[in-house]
Amino acid sequence: MRIILFGPPGAGKGTQAKLIENAFEIPQLSTGDMFRAAIKNETELGKKVKGILDSGQLVPDETVVDLVEEALSDPKFSEGYILDGFPRTVPQAKAFDSLLDKADEKLHAFVSLEVPDEELMKRILSRGEGRADDTPEKVKVRLEVYNEETAPVLNYYKQKGVYKAINGLGTIDEIFGRIKAVLNSNKK
C-alpha cells in the first residue's frame, strides 16, 4: 500500500505515521526526518536546508523530489510506504505521479489530517522540540506558507479520487482509529 500522510505542521503526521507503519507493516519515509538528519550531520544539503527551514520557508521542489526519488529506490519500499511531508506542492505531486508511472505503481490513499490553525499553534508551541522555527511568529509564517503553497495539493488529490479527510482532533488513538478505518476500507 502506498500512502501519503498529509497535513499542516503540528497535525500529528509523524505520530500517526509510526502507528500506520506498525499496524500495516509498511515503512515510513519522512522528508522532515531526512532533512533533520542532514542538518545534524552538517552535510551540504543539511546546511542549505537549515537556513531555509529556519526562515519558515519550504525547501525547493527539485531538491525534495530528488531526495525522495533516491530514498524510494531502497528495496525496503518496494511493497509500499507512507510518505510523511511529501509532496508539499503541486509540482512535487506531479513529479511524484511521474515516479509512480515510471515504476508502474499507484497511490492508494492521500490521508489528510484536518486540524484548525488555533489547535496547531497550541500543539507546536507546547511540544518543546527546541526548533528555531517554534516561536509564535515563525509558526504563523509556517502555517501561512502551508496554506498558500501546500493546501493546493489537497485539491490536486481530490481530483484524483484518493483524498481521504481525517478529523485530526481527539486522542492519538481516536485519530488513528479513523485512519485505520479508512485504510482498511481502501484495501477492499
- What residues are annotated to the active site? 13, 88, 127, 131, 142
> What one-character-per-residue DSSP string does 103-143 give?
TT----EEEEEE--HHHHHHHHHHS----TT-SHHHHHHHH
The 10 Å Cβ neighbour count of residue 146 is 21
Q: Are 50 and 43 contacting, i.e. CB atoms less than 8 angstroms apart?
A: no
Q: Distance (Å, rounded) from C-alpha 186 to C-alpha 183?
A: 5
